[in-house]
Amino acid sequence: MEYILAPSILSADFKVLGEQMKETEEAGAKYLHFDVMDGMFVPSISFGMPVLKSIKGATGQVMDAHLMVQEPIRYVEAFQKAGADIVTVHLEACEDIHATIEKIRECGMKVGLSVCPETDIKETETLIKEIDMLLIMSVHPGFGGQKFIPESLEKIRIARNMAKEQGFELDIQVDGGIYHNNVKEVLDAGVNIVVAGSAVFNGNPAENTRKFMEILKNYG
Ligand code: DX5
Ligand code: ZN
């Protein structure tokens, strides 16, 4: 199983976003996590399609769009046009999750499904066969720089077991409050894609990415 770092640009310095992305890519981060907030599903507003379109191609990184958006089915095509490679939607935000998953597939992108901390992970049990990646939120979505919720570890373990029982290897991503000093715990629980915002972009992004990659490369 491949262990991947997905730096979240929510904490980047937007004056020099392209340069910072490049630094993370050169230090080994294969994905770039793009947090979209609509002011409805979550209280805050971040950025959307025009920003993605502008940064697409600044690096060769996989554009991993996390839509914290009510009824994201409305924007799937627009994100595909803007350059998303993976579109992750929240189970809690979709009236028809099957139709939303189908729409992402039709647009030729990978499908991510996310659950908030208060959502029972068992609700995804019948859905994981239809998706490429399960994103377990380890903070309440909406802001960077929050503290990791320890109960997330048990959810990750349950998710990894559910996939095992159904006989396949699922990409499991964790997002929120991940730092160099707790990343090993989420890997042990069963995560293989790690999102980190503050821990990458506060300080020196190249150095911070390298430190994460050392841990991820030596894992397993
Ligand atoms: C939270 C976002 C996260 C966030 C992670 O709503 O989905 O991607 O930026 O930030 P840190 O790593 O700072 O907790
Ligand atoms: Zn995110």
Q: Which residues surround ligand 2, an ion (CB under 5 A)?
A: 35, 66, 175
Helix/strand/coil for 175? strand
Domain definitions of the chain by residue range: 4-219
Q: What is the distance between the alpha carbons of residues 193 and 203, in angstroms, rounded to a whole number?
A: 22
Strand, coil or helix: what is 21? helix
- Is 4-219 in CATH node 3.20.20.70? yes
Per residue in 134-162, pLDDT tens?
A: 999 999 999 999 999 999 999 999 999 99
pTM recorded for the entire structure: 0.98
Ligand 1 lined by 23 (C-beta under 6 Å): no
* Residue 96 among the catalytic residues: no
66 lines ligand 1 (CB under 6 A): yes
Q: Which ligand is nearest to the CA of 88?
A: 2
Segment 47-82, tens digit of pLDDT: 999 999 999 999 999 999 999 999 999 999 999 999
